[in-house]
Amino acid sequence: MALEISLEDVSLVYNRGTHLELKALEGVSVTFRNDESVLLLGHTGSGKSTLLKVISQLLRPSEGRVLINGRECSEPKIFMKKIGICFQFPEDQFLCETVFDEIAFASRNFNLDQIESRVMKAIEAVGLDETYLDKSPFSLSQGEARKVALASVIAHEPDLLLLDEPFIALDYQGKHVIRSFVRSWIQQRHGLILVSHSLDHTIDLVNRVIVLESGKIVYDGSVENFIFENAAQRSKLQSEVVEIWYQLLKLGEKPSSLEDLIQKAADRIIV
């Protein structure tokens, strides 16, 4: 079923009316669908994490509206079943004593069946195994905790997945596992909104890029246009991958993945 989330002139102010007042989002109007993959970029404090929480209705905007398929949401639980959000700090979302119960939590809350099967499928998808299921989620390393947090938000099979910095604290193999998962998720026609500072690990996974600056959207467009604009202007969003991709696009070659980019670049090296 199609899912469309629209923000109309949304602003969000933290600590309004106090000396700590902070405007995190200002006049944001944007639409997301569950048939696209989106990368949210921006410097620390630009509003990326706040935007994810507004999209998922964990935060209500100070001004503006959030529409679900053209209407304001009247049944939050039904909507939340369609969304999976994984926070930047996984310990923020842990509630249960064991990894099994943590991964099963949402599925049980939504009264879904085949709980054990869902848990096993989810934990395997993130590169872990059943030996973790009896452990406390609070005893895990940062990388393991990040994987368990991801498993916990995909077990109920949401339509749209929101990931906030999923590659932090992961080693090379861990990043490879999560990249493979994300690619498979998108290929299954699920939606994705991904926050990351790492262009090199994400740019080939998405088809749309949104850049936030001081709580405002300053860019919203295709990956190709983003690469042309940012590589040509040598912006602060520096990335060797973006530079190489830009050069290949100028030559009429469009890489289909990071691996394809590497191969195309290697083929042009003259020894």
Which positions are annotated as active-site residues?
165
Distances (CA, A) of 118 to 32, 123, 125, 260: 27, 9, 11, 33
Answer for the pair 169, 87: CB distance below 8 angstroms, yes or no. Answer: no
Sheet with 71-72, edge to edge strand ranges: 22-33, 4-14, 63-68, 71-72
Alpha-carbon distance 38 to 246, whole Å? Answer: 19
204 HSE (CA, 13 A, CB side): 20
Burial call 43-53: b when 16+ CB within 10 Å, e when fewer: eeebbbbbbbb
